[in-house]
Amino acid sequence: MILVAATSSDGVLDHGRGCPWQVPEEYAGFLEQIRGETVILGRHSFEAYGRDLTSRFAIVLSRTARSIPGVQIARSLDQAIRFGEMLGHRVYTVGSASVYPCALPLADRLLLSTVREPRVACARFPRIDAARWRVRREADRRRFVVRVYERAG
């Protein structure tokens, strides 16, 4: 499973009032990455922007929802990853704050964009342990940098 997230330069994911920055090029790169693939996301993120994604399948994490038209519901991240692997596409976990801490230990790769703007935090991305993750690729853009991390060793 590949974990995808965007943060501000100080690790902020969300400030509780929609996306904390407007960097269309960064979001376009994200949409291109998940095009035709399977995404896993929390129910709040799905309700915020899940219908506008370019992925082929969405698996929504929820302990409460009975059904949501057009998506598969999973009661846990393990179950979501199993569903995703059965679909035979790449599986991306795309958010958000309540999901990333459980997704980080299960991810094979991290795809993290860092927008060059500090923000006031509502939710932060978990700390990345430098002993466990190595940057394999880095693309430096004007307003953000994208890093691909793979597990060390």
Ligand X SMILES: NC(=O)c1ccc[n+]([C@@H]2O[C@H](COP(=O)([O-])OP(=O)(O)OC[C@H]3O[C@@H](n4cnc5c(N)ncnc54)[C@H](OP(=O)(O)O)[C@@H]3O)[C@@H](O)[C@H]2O)c1
Give the footprint of ligand X on this chain (CB under 6 A): 5-6, 13-14, 19, 41-45, 48, 61-65, 75-77, 94-99, 102, 123
* Minimal distance, residue 151 CB to ligand X, in Å: 20
Nearer to ligand X, 40 or 133 (CB): 40
Helices in the chain by DSSP H: which ranges? 24-34, 43-49, 77-87, 100-103
Closer of 61 and 107 to ligand X (Cβ):
61
Name the minimum Å distance from CB 153 to ligand X: 27
Residue (32 or 131) nearer to ligand X, CB? 32
Sheet architecture: strand order including 91-93: 72-74, 57-61, 38-42, 91-93, 2-8, 109-115, 144-151, 133-140
